[in-house]
Amino acid sequence: MYAIIEEGGRQYKVTSGDTILIDREVGADDKTVTFDRVLLVGGEGDPRLGTPIVAGATVTADVIGPAKGPKVISVKYRRRKGYRRKIGHRQSYYSVKVTGINV
């Protein structure tokens, strides 16, 4: 069974046991996260499409901990002006492991 969920403006295709990175801030004492914006549930028989979300469907996940994405380098440059700037950014995420898809 698989589901397509929406979180933080992005869509993820998840199955039970998958690990994903999300942008949401998770509290220090939160052990589980519930995603209620499920757009599609499939895998057994006909897929259930939401309009826009599937009624009563949720996806639960255990919080693994904070994680960081790859470093992205940005460079600013003005020709003939002696102006150069190098800027780095590394996005913070939370790693979660999907434990169940509830329909």
Residue range 22-81, pLDDT digits in tens: 998 887 788 999 999 999 999 888 999 988 999 999 999 999 999 999 999 999 999 999
Which region, left, alpha or beta, applies to residue 58 given φ > 0 means left and ψ of -120 to 50 means alpha?
A: beta
Q: What is the pLDDT of residue 87?
A: 97
Q: Nearest to residue 3, comparing CAs of 29, 31, 35?
A: 35
pTM, two decimals, is 0.82
Q: What is the pLDDT of residue 95?
A: 94
> Which amino acid is it at 50?
G
Phi (first) and psi of residue 64, to 5 degrees = -85, -45
